[in-house]
């Protein structure tokens, strides 16, 4: 037995305690009501680096519009990005589209059933492959995300900062995964990390693993990179429509060569972040990766917009009827929503 293996009695007890706890305490989330591999794939990709609360409505809207992999494969990319708007990390949506097209070209109606085959597809890493294979297809493979790593490190009293800890965690997860119920078991560990074994102030008194746990509290973890702060400003220019009853808003498309959010539409950036008080429409806070932005939004007339903004991409006046269907950046969607320029259902 290696130094990080558990005795068989402990493995059996941990599995039983976790599954019983999960059956009684799991959150009722829409992707837990299905065994459709496609729907589980969509949820797993959306949940990467995104909060559950932010995903729920996007997940429902996405599946309503693209109910299966064939419909996703045949959709224009801009439609997919429009439904992804607000979730961030748009590369995920593009990779899903690519994978769907690859599956369709090969003449398959769905995703392959094994973690090894899933892993070979674009945008599907070890974690996502293991999650889909175990939850949708019942393959006994373990998954290790941040929650699982934290739970298992605490369970075993391991220092998460040590160089070989990740390897030990993966070995332990593989030893623990339940051979008959791998999907529920994997979700149980992740759920425990999400609602009980929290990064700060874990709720050890409610934990089904406390009898086995060698830490029972916070443990040493690697420090996160500090958040930076930045101040920026954008122009909100709205005019009456020449063609129809609705107004139009001026948007700018980010260049395809941009490393972040290429091809998405945003409000034109102002040259100067100091907005005259009389022109300040609103100030919003917005976070992208490790930067917290304070964003000033200036109401702009169409005559001065070119003088006060930095033209960095293709600009276009977009009808307010159409704007909700555009692939907007999360910030643009937030501002247009707060300015009541999006239909209620699209905010
Ligand atoms: S007892 Fe506490 S530290 Fe240990 S696994 Fe449970 S919640 Fe985490």
Q: Give residue 243's pLDDT.
A: 64
Q: Give residue 342's pLDDT.
A: 83
Which of 202, 208, 221 to mutate to test ligand 1, by most ligand atoms within 8 A of the CB atom? 202
180 and 294 part of one domain: no
Q: Give residue 223's pLDDT.
A: 62
**pLDDT digits over 93-141, tens only?**
999 999 999 999 988 879 999 999 999 999 999 999 999 999 999 999 9
The answer to whether residue 157 is domain-embedded is yes
Q: How far away, in angstroms, is 2 Cα from ligand 1 center? A: 23
**Pairing mode, if any, of strands 247-253 and 265-266?**
antiparallel
74 and 181 part of one domain: yes
Q: Give residue 299's pLDDT.
A: 92
The answer to whether residue 67 is domain-embedded is yes
**pLDDT digits over 226-272, tens only?**
889 999 999 999 988 766 667 899 999 988 887 778 888 999 999 99
CATH of residue 321's domain is: 3.90.79.10
143 and 85 part of one domain: yes
121 and 14 part of one domain: yes
The answer to whether residue 337 is domain-embedded is yes
Q: How far away, in angstroms, is 196 Cα from ligand 1 center? A: 7
CATH of residue 160's domain is: 1.10.340.30
Domain boundary among the residues 206, 238, 255 is at 206
331 and 296 Cβ atoms separated by less than 8 Å: no
187 and 240 part of one domain: no
Q: What range does the domain containing 235 cover?
A: 228-346
Output the CA–CA distances (angstroms, integers) from residue 305 to 31, 39, 44, 171, 270, in the order listed.
45, 43, 41, 58, 9
- How many domains are contained in the chain? 2
- Give the mean pLDDT of the chain: 90
Domain boundary among the residues 151, 173, 206 is at 206
The answer to whether residue 178 is domain-embedded is yes
141 and 247 part of one domain: no
The answer to whether residue 216 is domain-embedded is no
294 and 230 Cβ atoms separated by less than 8 Å: yes
241 and 163 part of one domain: no
Which of 21, 196, 206, 212 to mutate to test ligand 1, by most ligand atoms within 8 A of the CB atom? 196
Q: At what angle do helices 52-65 and 37-47 cross, to 10 degrees?
A: 140
310 and 342 part of one domain: yes
Q: Give residue 220's pLDDT.
A: 60
Q: Give residue 2's pLDDT.
A: 53
93 and 185 part of one domain: yes
Q: What are phi and psi of 259, to 5 degrees?
A: -80, -25
Q: Give residue 305's pLDDT.
A: 87
The answer to whether residue 197 is domain-embedded is yes
Q: Is the pLDDT of residue 24 over 70?
A: yes
Estimate the share of the chain in helix, then strand, then coil, as percent rounded to the nearest 5.
45, 15, 40
Residues having CB within 6 Å of any atom of ligand 1:
151, 154-155, 196-197, 202, 204, 207, 209-210, 213, 215-217
Q: Give residue 35's pLDDT.
A: 94
21 and 192 Cβ atoms separated by less than 8 Å: yes
Q: For this structure, is 139 an active site residue?
A: no
Please pick, among 44, 191, 248, 266, the residue that the annotation labels catalytic. Answer: 44
Q: How far away, in angstroms, is 186 Cα from ligand 1 center? A: 16
In terms of C-beta distances under 8 Å and separation of at least 24 residues, what long-range contacts does 87-94 make, across chains too?
87/46, 87/50, 87/54, 87/55, 87/58, 87/330, 88/49, 88/50, 88/288, 88/330, 89/48, 89/49, 89/50, 90/261, 90/262, 90/264, 90/327, 91/123, 92/45, 92/46, 92/48, 92/123
Q: How far away, in angstroms, is 157 Cα from ligand 1 center? A: 10
The percent of residues in the chain predicted with pLDDT above 90, rounded, is 69
Q: Which atom of ligand 1 is nearest to the CA of 207?
A: 6
């Amino acid at each position: 037995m290696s130094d990080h293996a558990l005795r068989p009695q402990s493995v059996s007890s941990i599995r039983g305690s976790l599954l019983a706890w999960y059956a009684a305490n799991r959150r009722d989330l829409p992707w837990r009501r299905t065994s459709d591999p496609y729907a589980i794939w969509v949820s797993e990709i959306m949940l990467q680096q995104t909060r559950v609360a932010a995903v729920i409505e996007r997940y429902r809207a996405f599946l309503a519009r693209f109910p299966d992999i064939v419909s996703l494969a045949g959709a224009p990319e801009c439609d997919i990005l429009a439904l992804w708007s607000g979730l961030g990390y748009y590369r995920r949506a593009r990779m899903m589209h690519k994978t769907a097209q690859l599956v369709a070209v090969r003449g398959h109606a769905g995703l392959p059933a094994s973690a090894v085959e899933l892993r070979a597809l674009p945008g599907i890493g070890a974690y996502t492959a293991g999650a889909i294979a175990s939850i949708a297809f019942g393959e006994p493979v373990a998954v290790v995300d941040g929650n699982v790593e934290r739970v298992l490190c605490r369970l075993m009293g391991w220092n998460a900062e040590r160089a070989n800890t990740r390897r030990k965690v993966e070995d332990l997860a593989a030893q623990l995964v339940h051979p008959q119920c791998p999907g529920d078991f994997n979700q149980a560990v992740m759920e425990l990390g999400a609602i009980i074994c929290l990064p700060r102030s874990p709720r050890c008194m409610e934990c089904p693993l406390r009898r086995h746990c060698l830490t029972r509290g916070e443990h040493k973890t690697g420090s996160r990179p500090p958040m930076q702060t930045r101040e920026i400003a954008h122009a909100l220019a709205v005019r009456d429509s020449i063609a129809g009853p609705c107004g139009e808003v001026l948007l700018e498309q980010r260049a395809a060569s941009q490393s972040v959010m290429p091809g998405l539409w945003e409000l034109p950036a102002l040259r100067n972040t100091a907005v005259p008080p009389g022109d300040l429409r609103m100030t919003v806070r917005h976070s992208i990766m490790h930067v917290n932005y304070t964003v000033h939004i200036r109401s702009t007339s169409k005559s001065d917009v070119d003088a006060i903004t930095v033209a960095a991409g293709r600009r276009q006046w977009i009808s307010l009827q159409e704007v909700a269907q555009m692939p907007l950046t999360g910030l643009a969607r937030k501002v247009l929503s707060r300015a009541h320029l999006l239909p209620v259902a699209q905010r």
